[in-house]
Amino acid sequence: MELLDFSDELLKREPQELDFEKDNAKEFCDKLFKRMKELGGVGLSANQVGFDKKVFVFGDGKELTRYIINPTIIAIGDETVSMKEGCLSLPGVFLMVRRPTEVTLRYYDTDGNEVVEQFLDLAARVVLHEYDHMIGQNFTQRVSKLKLDRAIKAMKKKVTKKVRSDVRKQLEANNV
């Protein structure tokens, strides 16, 4: 389960629904959640790691863990808030994204049972971020080109600074 390149075509289209007859939903979601934690994320969509499945997972593994299969948004609240977001598929880029603070989702659990659940605040943000992956979109499409260009420039500057620092440390360690 390796992260796909951000430009991969799988991330630009709506994935296929998970087929409960063919796929072991629990095993697949457990593996996806484990990979999310290994990557240091709070959410991960199946298509981000090369699986053409309409599935995402999120949570901390303690107080909140959700396996979301074949989701549909059925309601979105009116209140919105801007917050910094990042994405495992585009490391180092962080953007201020305005999103609703409330979303109600219809999805299936790993046993194939339909669930309707309302998510608030940070959970709503994560759900909406991951849901974007379910419709072939990503968080960079939620901001202006100018904001995106600035974020990419800032990320490149940080990388350059880190590389210079690492080279300097190696030179010093070798008394050069």
| Tally of helices (H runs) and strands (E runs) in the chain | 3, 7
pLDDT per position as a tens digit, 20-71:
999 999 999 999 999 999 999 999 999 999 999 999 999 977 878 999 999 9
Q: Is 117 a catalytic residue?
A: no
Question: pTM for the full model?
Answer: 0.83
pLDDT per position as a tens digit, 61-91:
787 899 999 999 999 999 999 999 999 988 8
- DSSP secondary structure code for residue 4 in this structure: P
Q: Single out the catalytic residue among 17, 79, 130, 172.
A: 130
> How would DSSP label each residue in 25-51?
HHHHHHHHHHHHHHHT-SEEEGGGGT-
